[in-house]
């Protein structure tokens, strides 16, 4: 692989810039939710946060429900 294989993605660069100025956890979750699907071209994204031995399902953005309410 060469350096050309790792060119910066404009969406990822924009998201990184937004994340550097995010002031709260809800801001971070919103930025992740809004940009992740576009960056990887997926049908959905789930934002799951872990604290200690617990997980919190923070957000999803998908063509149909993934885990919300489970």
**Is residue 7 classed as helix, strand or coil in its secondary structure?**
coil
In the chain, where the domains are located: 3-62
**pLDDT tens-place values along the chain, 70 residues long:** 666 666 667 888 899 999 999 999 888 888 888 888 777 777 888 888 899 999 988 888 888 777 666 6
Question: What DSSP string describes 7-18?
Answer: PPPHHHHHHHHH
pTM for this prediction: 0.63
């Amino acid at each position: 692989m060469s350096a050309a294989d790792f060119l910066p993605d404009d969406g990822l660069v924009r998201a990184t810039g937004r994340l550097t100025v995010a002031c709260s956890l809800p801001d971070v979750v919103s930025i992740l939710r809004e940009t992740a699907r576009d960056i990887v071209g997926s049908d959905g994204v789930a934002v799951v946060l872990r604290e200690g031995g617990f997980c919190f399902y923070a957000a999803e953005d998908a063509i149909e429900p993934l885990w919300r309410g489970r």
